[in-house]
Structure 1
Amino acid sequence: MDEDRTAGVLLGLACGDALGRPIEFETPARILAQYGEVTEMLANGTWGKPAGTVTDDTDMALCLARSLVDCGGFDPDDVAERFVAWYDAGPFDVGNMTAKALSRIRDGESWETASQRVWEESPEGSNAGNGSVMRAPPLAVALADDHSQLVEASETSSRITHADPRCTAGCAVLNLTLAGLLVGRADPLSDALGWLDPTAALDDALRPVVTGDLDPSTLRSTGYVVDTLQTALWHGLHADSPERALVDVVNMGGDADTVGAVTGAVVGARFGASALPERWLAELDGRSELRALATRLATR
């Protein structure tokens, strides 16, 4: 695999996360009034952090990447332990389903039981969040040449905190698409949908991204995994540059950091790390470790 593209997956994810972090939860109108079009890493904003600060999206992707490297492969028990340790350290941003599942794991439940119960107890509308797809891309780098193993690991990784079938299938679709980009497939999302035969909700939302039969004005930046994938894959696969894709999605506001992170992984795999704006990378937290982990994942 091309080293520039593998580095692009993790660095793109972190760039989208950090670019969207200051304007998370804002509306497009409020973003425009306060900042104009956001094209730079901003300080302060929603979480009051320095420019280039990443959130739980990148933090949890780093937990997964470090586990893959240290364990020599995917070990869900080790990943769950790392997630709990990260959660116990008191991150400033953590999703509701993630927090509920990790709290139960910390209190002694197995991750399988914890996430299943959280899902069963969550009403429709709050049971299929994007908290597992945002962290999934390290698996695509590590397992790009083994689709069966990549699907199994992606679905299992999701189930540590997000057991809804839309979430598990969403992680697999995203990672199959990233893997396809990394190995040079011409139509990676179409291949991913054909390989996985995902749930109808995902297929109905993502098939128009393949065909181009989609009105971009209908895209949404929310915490719902289907919205996140539809928006991120449309912009990630159709934009003419990583900068254009990420500027467009984060300025939608809403769940700007997570939609930015997923879009960033896609454009990173598509264009490579060298196509990411250097001015963004210069301010990005953890850029050296992200690049080093990508190299180790791709060569493990």
Structure 2
Amino acid sequence: MDSDRARGVLLGLACGDALGRPVEFSSSTEISAEHGRLDEMVGHGTWNQPAGTITDDTEQALCIARSLVDRGEFDPADVADQFVAWYDTGPFDIGGMTARSLRRLKSGAPWDEAGQQVWEQSREGQNAGNGSVMRCPPLAIPYANDRERLVEVSRQSSQITHADPRCTVGCALLNLTIAGLLDGAGNPLEDALAFLDGTAPAELAGALDPVARGESPGTLETSGYVVHTLQTALHDGLRADSVEDAVVTAVNRGGDTDTVGAVAGAVAGARFGASGLPDPWLAAIDETEELDSLAARLAEMA
């Protein structure tokens, strides 16, 4: 496996997350008014953190990557434990479904029941967030050559906190796409949809089909809804001319900037490699060295 592309998955995710963090919840108009075109790490803003600070997107991706390396395979119970340990540190940013699921895990619910219970008690409109797709890309590296297992572990990784099929299958589609990019596929999203052979929820497939065909959907949304996040991030990640362009384009759309940026960054990172990421971005992120090391270990597992 190309180590530069494997590193690009994790570092691209972190760069998109950190670039988007200070403008999360801002509109594209508000970002433009304050920053012009935001293309460098800035401090403060949303969450009032220093430049280069990652959020729950990368922090949970690190939980998954560390567990994979420590266990030598995907162990959902261990990943759930890592999430709970992270939750106990009091992160400044955490999604609602994730927090509710992790509280259930803390109280003794099994890894495959906590998220299911939260989902069943959440009404439509608040039951299919992007909190699992943002963290799942590390799985695409060690399981890139075993698509059946990649689908299984991707769905299970989502199930811990996000049990809606749009989320579980969304993780599988994203990771199949990233695995295809790591393997040099010409149209990895089309391949991913075909691999799932019509089992993707209709709303998710309907949003991604035009992206797979190279078409631009009419309006690209940047809400926290998983279908919006995947459609916009895959559009930007697969169509941009560079990983930097993908991340900057995604973040400057506004909305859920850290997560749309993180997913677009992971996709484009798999396309172009970590070598395409600006050095000042990587220098600003404290976790760059660990992400680099984990990516190399994950690539060896493949």
Aligned residue identity for 1:165: P
TM-score normalized by structure 2?
A: 0.98
Q: Which residue of the other structure, out of 212, 215, 234, is the alignment partner of 1:213?
A: 215
Q: Distance in 2 between matches of 1:24 and 1:240?
A: 24
Aligned positions, number: 299
Asked whether the equivalents of residues 101 and 111 of structure 1 are also in contact (C-alpha less than 8 Å), the reply is: no
Q: Distance in 2 between matches of 1:163 and 1:169?
A: 10
Deviation at 1:221, TM superposition (A): 0.8
Q: Distance in 2 between matches of 1:213 and 1:57?
A: 28
Q: Which residue of structure 2 aligns with residue 105 of structure 1?
A: 105
Deviation at 1:102, TM superposition (A): 0.2
> Mind listing any 5+ residue stretches in structure 1 that lack a counterpart?
none
Aligned residue identity for 1:206: L
Query: What are the equivalent positions in structure 2 for 1:179-258 lying under 5 Å apart?
Result: 179-196=179-196, 197=198, 198-215=200-217, 218-258=219-259
Q: Distance in 2 between matches of 1:95 and 1:42?
A: 23
Deviations 1:89-131 (A, max 9, x none): 1000000000000011101111222111100111111100000
Q: Which residue of structure 2 aligns with residue 271 of structure 1?
A: 272
Deviation at 1:213, TM superposition (A): 2.7
| 1:282 lines up with 2:283 in the alignment | yes
Aligned residue identity for 1:25: F
Deviations 1:75-95 (A, max 9, x none): 000000000010011000000
Determine helix, strand or coil for the equivalent of 2:280.
helix
| 1:72 lines up with 2:69 in the alignment | no
Aligned residue identity for 2:209: R
Deviation at 1:299, TM superposition (A): 0.4
Q: Distance in 2 between matches of 1:89 and 1:282?
A: 24
TM-score normalized by structure 1?
A: 0.98
Query: What are the equivalent positions in structure 2 for 1:1-300 lying under 5 Å apart?
Result: 1-196=1-196, 197=198, 198-215=200-217, 218-300=219-301
Determine helix, strand or coil for the equivalent of 2:46.
helix
- Identical columns (%): 63
Deviation at 1:212, TM superposition (A): 2.3
Deviations 1:14-56 (A, max 9, x none): 0000000000011111111122211100100001111100000
Q: Which ranges of 4 or more aligned residues in structure 1 deviate by more than 4 Å?
A: none
Q: CA RMSD in A?
A: 0.8
Q: Distance in 1 between matches of 2:275 and 2:113?
A: 42
Deviations 1:178-208 (A, max 9, x none): 0000011111100000001311111100000
Asked whether the equivalents of residues 26 and 254 of structure 1 are also in contact (C-alpha less than 8 Å), the reply is: yes
Q: Distance in 1 between matches of 2:245 and 2:4?
A: 19
